[in-house]
Chain A
Amino acid sequence: MSSTAVQPPQWQQEIFKVLKEGGVHQIVYVPDAGHSHVIRSAIADPEIQDVVLTTEEEGVALVSGAWLGGQRAVLLMQSSGVGNCVNMFSLLESCRFPFLTLVTMRGEYAEFNPWQGPMGKNTQGALELMGITVMRADDPENVGEIVSAAYDAVFQAGEQVAVLLSQSLIGRKKWERN
């Protein structure tokens, strides 16, 4: 990979800026290409703990524990991970924990892999069934603003919000290796 030499997309830089300036101290994640700049930036930032998870529901509990201890944390995952979280989401409503997750979408735009469809097409529904407010970001120009609005709703009003980052932001995945 030549990722260090290539400038990351502007919208990914804006996401990290919102989190950093907002005072996030823990960024916990199951990785995805669309999150790669934020993850790299978290790892490089001595004021932010980066935590890689074995499964996404760990992150729901982890960011709740961070809040309990007075820190702001955010969970990054791919749409498939939302399905893994469903019962753990009960923690958020039961204790009214503020909760922010950024979800990169699969299975909804120029998808190659049919196995991504069932969860990708039901990601928004699954989140809403569990009481989480869903915001969508489809236009690279608006990603920073939408993430910032979600951030304020979570940490000012104590809401539970997921921002779905459209697959169209990331573009078509290349399946052939040269």
Chain B
Amino acid sequence: MSLREHTIDRREFVAKLIAQLPDALIVTGLGSASYDVFAAGDRPENFYLWGAMGGSTSLALGLALAQPDKSVVVITGDGEQLMGIGSLATVGAKQPANLTIVVLDNGHFGETGMQQSHSSLGTDLVAVAKGCSIEDAFHVGDVADTAKIAERANARAGTVFAQVAITAAEPPRALPPRDGVYVKNRFREALGFKPF
């Protein structure tokens, strides 16, 4: 069982983090992480997933390899990351210097009724990340640590993995656009790509 205190307010944390990442390309895992990022302010450089559970880190890896001069930040939940846990090994094999993975960990599957997840039943996600050779992996227990994550993300000096101990509170839903074609085209346009 996790002995860590989960005291961080997810909305406050995500808003403070994104405020320090003005140029980052942000990919969100489905569910509450998407709502948190959207609530912090919609922007074309956000790519919100509404499905494809387990895919956020993989999608961000493809993006990070394609855009090495941009900081790419994944913001997802513990359940979404756990479903794609192997993607951490794939990231570890590539070591993209511009990829930062932020897991908002409440130890529960929030969207489906707050069932406990593996991260509160024994799995240590930071140990998993380190085991996948993501050396710069750490726990975050305080809102002030947004600066620690943002500095690293903006420096693009190595893959980063941060596990953030958020409370299991459920703030009001803030729903990002779920028209994937729109979100995709808007994102690509912000990078200067025209429709084919």
Interface residues of A (CB under 8 A from B): 25-26, 28, 49, 51-55, 57-71, 73, 87-88, 90-91, 94-98, 155-156, 158
Which residues from chain A contact B53 at a C-beta distance below 8 Å?
A: 87
* B181 interface contact, C-beta 8 A: yes
Residue-wise interface mask of B (47-61) relative to A, using a CB-CB cutoff of 8 A (1 in contact, 0 not): 101111111101111
Which residues from chain A contact B94 at a C-beta distance below 8 Å?
A: 49, 51
- Contact check, A61 vs B62: say whether CB atoms are below 8 A apart: yes
- Contact check, B51 vs A65: say whether CB atoms are below 8 A apart: no
**Considering only CB atoms, which chain B residue lies closest to A155 in the complex?**
B196
- Contact check, A71 vs B66: say whether CB atoms are below 8 A apart: yes
Which residues from chain A contact B181 at a C-beta distance below 8 Å?
A: 94-96
- Contact check, A90 vs B61: say whether CB atoms are below 8 A apart: no
Which residues from chain B contact A49 at a C-beta distance below 8 Å?
A: 65, 94
Which residues from chain A contact B62 at a C-beta distance below 8 Å?
A: 26, 28, 61-69, 71, 73
Q: How far is the CA of A97 from the CA of B184 in the complex (A)?
A: 8
Q: How far is the CA of A109 from the CA of B45 in the complex (A)?
A: 47
Residue-wise interface mask of B (17-37) relative to A, using a CB-CB cutoff of 8 A (1 in contact, 0 not): 000000001010000000000
| Residue of A59, A69, A158 touching B58 (CB-CB under 8 A) | A59
**Considering only CB atoms, which chain A residue lies closest to B84 in the complex?**
A58
- 6 A–B contacts, CB within 8 A, in A order: A54-B86, A54-B90, A60-B55, A64-B59, A70-B191, A95-B183
* B187 interface contact, C-beta 8 A: yes
- Contact check, B54 vs A57: say whether CB atoms are below 8 A apart: yes
Q: How far is the CA of A97 from the CA of B59 in the complex (A)?
A: 12
Report whether over half of chain A's contact residues are helix, strand or loop; otherwise say mixed.
Answer: helix
Which residues from chain A contact B65 at a C-beta distance below 8 Å?
A: 25-26, 49, 51, 66, 69, 71
Q: How far is the CB of A46 from chain B (nearest CB, A)?
A: 13
Chain B interface residue number, banded: 35 or more
- Contact check, A90 vs B90: say whether CB atoms are below 8 A apart: no
Extra contacts, 12 of them, besides A65-B58, A65-B61, A73-B62 (Cβ < 8 A), are A51-B94, A53-B58, A53-B86, A53-B90, A54-B89, A58-B84, A60-B52, A68-B63, A69-B64, A91-B51, A91-B52, A96-B180
**Considering only CB atoms, which chain A residue lies closest to B65 in the complex?**
A49
Q: How far is the CA of A129 from the CA of B60 in the complex (A)?
A: 27
- Contact check, A90 vs B63: say whether CB atoms are below 8 A apart: no
Q: How far is the CA of A28 from the CA of B93 in the complex (A)?
A: 12
**Considering only CB atoms, which chain A residue lies closest to B94 in the complex?**
A51
- Contact check, A65 vs B66: say whether CB atoms are below 8 A apart: yes
- Contact check, A91 vs B55: say whether CB atoms are below 8 A apart: yes
- Contact check, B196 vs A68: say whether CB atoms are below 8 A apart: no
Which residues from chain B contact A28 at a C-beta distance below 8 Å?
A: 62
* B43 interface contact, C-beta 8 A: no
Which residues from chain B contact A96 at a C-beta distance below 8 Å?
A: 180-181, 184
Which residues from chain B contact A68 at a C-beta distance below 8 Å?
A: 47, 59, 62-63, 66, 184, 187-188
- Contact check, B86 vs A65: say whether CB atoms are below 8 A apart: no
Q: How far is the CB of A74 from chain B (nearest CB, A)?
A: 11
Q: How far is the CA of A93 from the CA of B50 in the complex (A)?
A: 13
Q: How far is the CB of B34 from chain A (nearest CB, A)?
A: 14
| Residue of B25, B187, B193, B196 touching A158 (CB-CB under 8 A) | B196
- Contact check, B191 vs A69: say whether CB atoms are below 8 A apart: yes
Among B59, B64, B65, B89, which residue has the most Cβ atoms of chain A within 10 A?
Answer: B59
